Structure 1
């Protein structure tokens, strides 16, 4: 039936000025609720325009107001009730997003062959027969989702008088994966699945004890959680630090890896300032970050220095494991592929799938840890590599970088360095660059571990031993005068 309709049959003439798209910071739910009430306004505009409207929203201001100031987003760990309420909302939004993409493809397939894929016809589409069908689907899904979420919210309020039931570890890890993929969207929509930044002790409880002396904070990477540091044999990095330094308290940071890295840096900086204010007997803070966790740690140090916060005066060591200080190859490849797809006829709408990935992932493209790298942009992107703002390391802090390579032997080549651990190149993990972005860490403070993948950096016995050695030394030895450390698998070392 659709194939026999003429182009004029597809649309209804209307006098509504579709060009006056709202520029206020109004989220998607408010827009669709308004359109559902007011039939004189089209329910859905072009997907490209809608994404631009969403990108124009100052998402991070919403994050600051809701998460940093404590309005709208809970600061308590996600519970069972939160889990089901968040899933209900997430499922609804997922269906709506898929409907948007399907409609965009359908619209392009119909209009482009007719030569009508232009602004005039795109503005008329929502009033046409096909556009109204898609609008009805969206309204129904939103209605079902909102009703389901309301029921779950009532249940949550009902059981709130009882002790909250924490999530099991398996679901906790799933929630952190969702945060890594779409964490900024979860915060924007006030989804209960949004993970708050929290410190945990070695027993998995939120930090509440009085602290003194030296503490070490382990910061996980993208899509991971504080549970990621646990080892099946009970010999994780945190355990090794505690055993080698009984007087050191090991804490585990949990945070939403889908947020802007600089926003997480701000949050961590203020969290550590509060920690020091509440525990004035803390004598030293050591930061150990894996992957994105290293960038968040650097961002926290950068902003603590900018804001003259005194917790930074207690930082002794910064150790990063496979952190993409100058960007991750995989995110760059993904962005390049997305740009190519966007230029193909009938596939441009599919390219917008890439815009759904979290801002945290986008920041990994060039290792952006400053607000200035994205705040001046209209969309959810970052400045090109050559225009990003440098963020030097604070003086007085001993810094150590660990990189890894999938190959098991020392083979010096551009391919080896580029491949790195499979996600991050060796040069990026070691903070090496040819211009002002180089972090200028002495060679003796760098280590390359061959035969170790990106994820295994947190479980490798060799990596664990090197981190413990650096922390035990605590800056007493002159590592700066030594050569770079190269570590090989034990079996290969015997052969050599």
Structure 2
């Protein structure tokens, strides 16, 4: 029998005390989920043999049913016991874990976990769920704490808001490859006199849910900024572009003040009209559900979050998803939402190809987002987002994530955002 390897100190040092509770909850829920899948397969086999069971619910009956019920019951009891025990241990663990609370490794894992199942984490009250926060110099801005953060002294009247994409966090705007450091936000802010503010959020929630919250957060930013705020410019990557469009729409609906200060939005690889990879995942749900033997495994496909299924067509508004089963295959029924009036909008799209072609635009793209989606183009004119020709730029031989590490992307953003030189008298 092979011995289990002990958990190394290097792994544990990246955990917060609340992480242990969160992991225990997930382990309990995962055991219950796998048990339900196995029970479903068991009943599917019985059904084909003519053995009575519970085809409507996928639950077995008789002695077999009692066994599965016992497993569910014991799993729930163990999960509750673990949660109570870890809650009691948290005060003892706080001092030991505090030093490593914000390690980059931990934050990366949490970002991925929230992207894949962040809606489930919120619904189950799991402490691993990431709350939305605006951040400066790596720390969340808390406006209800006095005095205001000293690091905001000397803040500029112009804010550069950076919004990350799915399964990512604010730390990942800073990249380093082969000794070359690329940080679009820091470079643009330093060159053009902005104060950079970074958003961290749970990318597994519906885009519009995050949109409502971001609209409110930015209103608080305006109210509490240490100097009168004159301008907000936004630089987004991937899903972040859908989020800012959602936040702007709801802020305008609610009559908030910050949209009047919004001057520029630069989109990097935003799937304005969705990603075929999510639509392929949706097909997997349909295929798995088409036979009694594979139907129980369709539950695995349904683990993916609301944020991911929003990427099927690029959902931005509540109306795009409310009242629909998000796992049921249906045509694109989004409410068309054009680019905002009075805001300069720019689109950077990437493609793995070395030149444009109809095939590369629709199939290749940057590996995740088709080129036409990144540029806002759509076969239906009502859905097309109209970027001016000189407000579009394509990065060839570039993957989706490489948009964050290409110095030429920084230069293009600077070119767009640098005010034109005033004519000399």
Q: TM-score range by the shorter chain?
A: 0.7 to 0.9
Question: Residue 300 in 1 paired to residue 234 in 2?
Answer: no
2:366 counterpart (421, 435, 439): 421
Query: 2:53 & 2:72 partners in 1: Cα distance?
Result: 23
Task: Report deviation, 1:221.
Answer: 0.6
Q: Is the 8 A contact 2:15 2:97 kept in 1?
A: no
4+ long deviations beyond 3 Å: 115-120, 157-165, 380-386, 473-477
Question: Residue 108 in 1 paired to residue 54 in 2?
Answer: no
Query: 1:419 & 1:365 partners in 2: Cα distance?
Result: 17
Distance 1:340 1:382, change over 3 A: closer
TM-score by length of 1: 0.75
1:471 counterpart residue number: 417
Question: Residue 258 in 1 paired to residue 204 in 2?
Answer: yes
1:431 counterpart residue number: 376
Query: 1:238 & 1:177 partners in 2: Cα distance?
Result: 22
1:273 counterpart (219, 225, 230): 219
1:56 counterpart residue number: none
Q: Please provide the CA RMSD for this pair.
A: 2.4
Task: Report deviation, 1:425.
Answer: 0.5
2:166 counterpart (195, 219, 222): 222
Query: 1:171 & 1:159 partners in 2: Cα distance?
Result: 16
Give runs of aligned pairs for residues 284-433 of structure 1, distance below 5 A: 284-377=231-324, 379-381=325-327, 384-407=330-353, 409-433=354-378
Task: Report deviation, 1:159.
Answer: 5.6
Question: Residue 456 in 1 paired to residue 402 in 2?
Answer: yes
Query: 2:421 & 2:239 partners in 1: Cα distance?
Result: 24
1:12 counterpart residue number: none
1:151 counterpart residue number: 85
Distance 1:463 1:305, change over 3 A: same
Task: Report deviation, 1:118.
Answer: 6.3
1:54 counterpart residue number: none
Q: Is the 8 A contact 2:285 2:301 kept in 1?
A: yes
396-405 or 341-350, larger mean C-alpha shift: 341-350
| Deviation by residue 1:199-222 (Cα, 9 ceiling, x = unmatched) | 222x31223435441111111111
Kindly tell me the number of residue pairs found equivalent between the two proteins: 394
Q: Secondary structure at the match of 2:139?
A: coil
Task: Report deviation, 1:414.
Answer: 2.6
Distance 1:251 1:417, change over 3 A: same
Task: Report deviation, 1:430.
Answer: 0.7
1:138 counterpart (67, 72, 81): 72
Q: Secondary structure at the match of 2:316?
A: coil
253-262 or 163-172, larger mean C-alpha shift: 163-172
Distance 1:474 1:219, change over 3 A: farther
Query: 1:385 & 1:309 partners in 2: Cα distance?
Result: 33
Q: Secondary structure at the match of 1:195?
A: coil
Distance 1:117 1:438, change over 3 A: farther
Query: 1:163 & 1:115 partners in 2: Cα distance?
Result: 54
Distance 1:115 1:135, change over 3 A: closer
Query: 2:35 & 2:421 partners in 1: Cα distance?
Result: 57
Distance 1:381 1:371, change over 3 A: farther
Question: Residue 231 in 1 paired to residue 181 in 2?
Answer: no
Q: Secondary structure at the match of 1:319?
A: strand
1:99 counterpart residue number: 35
Query: 2:96 & 2:228 partners in 1: Cα distance?
Result: 35
Unaligned runs of 5+ in 2: 1-13, 142-148
Question: Residue 441 in 1 paired to residue 387 in 2?
Answer: yes
Distance 1:475 1:80, change over 3 A: farther
Unaligned runs of 5+ in 1: 1-77, 478-496
Q: Is the 8 A contact 1:215 1:249 kept in 2?
A: yes
Distance 1:149 1:118, change over 3 A: closer
TM-score by length of 2: 0.87
Query: 2:401 & 2:419 partners in 1: Cα distance?
Result: 26
Query: 2:96 & 2:260 partners in 1: Cα distance?
Result: 42
Q: Secondary structure at the match of 1:190?
A: coil
Distance 1:129 1:473, change over 3 A: farther
1:53 counterpart residue number: none
Q: Is the 8 A contact 1:355 1:380 kept in 2?
A: no
Task: Report deviation, 1:119.
Answer: 4.8
| Deviation by residue 1:174-199 (Cα, 9 ceiling, x = unmatched) | 01100000000000000000001112
Q: Secondary structure at the match of 1:235?
A: strand
Distance 1:170 1:261, change over 3 A: same
